[in-house]
Chains A and B, each alone.
Chain A
């Protein structure tokens, strides 16, 4: 069975072609470094599971990991949506935050240390395998050329 009952609209634009062109543009721009940076890695934090399917997933993932590896344990702006209660709730939240920070600072510092070590380990494994793969590819190319001659 097919979906022949669906009529295709095709007036004026070909979205498939535009999508392909945009993907080519993006690939070029990525190579030139136009889409590098922590800001982009942060924007992709909810998209990692979908990026897995793409060829360049590992590079994007590593960039995101570098961005996210350090748990932010600094102070942040404390807000309160209910305007009428803000006068009371904001100072209260600030006190709670100071207490939490006092008790959890040591734990989070250690977590950051562990995260940093794990990241270094993954980078090293990646580097090692890339070198090994390159060596194997070179050997294969040499063998193939020898067989060819």
Chain B
């Protein structure tokens, strides 16, 4: 497969992204690595008059649940744990499914890819909340909220996951169909 150059913009014309999957895996791995400290380090550092409170994402959610706000706890857990993990799983599944035969139809996988790419940016909502709280609650000794180490790693994790999802060339999904020669699409 030769490489051509666009006459207008000079961009190299490629039918597929070279090393698309490698990029996907590289960023995926980075995202996963960052996700570990994002969960072990404290997300928020809340300093009130007498005490300093540092809690990780899950611990914070559990604490909120203990106070009776099960809805909020569920939202936090869903947005900060379930969705990132689901994204990791989805990207990995897509990447693997390109190379290996799968029973899931191409259309469904394409839909999954689009959903992952769409949802990806919303994972940053955690970081936004932390940023807003930190900016607003700065009352010196009375009460101070600072972002914890986890917020940085969480943001990195989200960024790398998004990059990973973007690096995935969705056309690869359909290549399998081309290879097998059959049209089993619904």
- Real complex partners, A and B? no
- Interface residues, chain B, CB within 8 Å of chain A? none
- Interface residues, chain A, CB within 8 Å of chain B? none
